[in-house]
Amino acid sequence: MKQYKIDKILNHLKEQKTITSLEAFQLYNITRLSAIIYVLRHTHHLYITNDDFKAKDGTHFARYHLHEGESAPDVTVAKGQMSIKDFM
């Protein structure tokens, strides 16, 4: 995953406060939003939550919310499971 993708989503969240996978694809041609959200949560220690929705056609999607100024819950990844390098 390229750093510029992470930066685009981070900037979007800072400006708009929310984003969905469809918006990420339409605006930035990014298809793996959940992976970017994972990186932002774990390497930037951002408090990002998501709400799950069901569209009229029955598909499920998530809207991610950035909570600026709030402390992120303590999140740790077990040693050896995953690294930031897995996303770059």
Tens digits of residue pLDDT in 26-69 = 999 999 999 999 999 888 888 898 888 888 898 888 899 998 87
pLDDT over 70 at 74, yes or no: no
**Higher-scoring residue by pLDDT: 79, 40:** 40
H-only helix segments in 2-61: 3-16, 21-28, 33-43
Q: Starting at the edge strand that comes first in sequence, how are the strands of the sheet with 18-20 ordered?
A: 18-20, 60-66, 48-54
Q: Give the CA distances from residue 33 to residues 1, 23, 69, 78, 79, in Å, rounded to whole numbers and listed in that order.
A: 11, 10, 22, 22, 24
Above 70 in pLDDT, residue 87?
Answer: no
pLDDT tier, 71 (very low <50, low <70, confident <90, very high otherwise): low
The residues with which 62 forms a beta bridge, in sequence order, are: 52
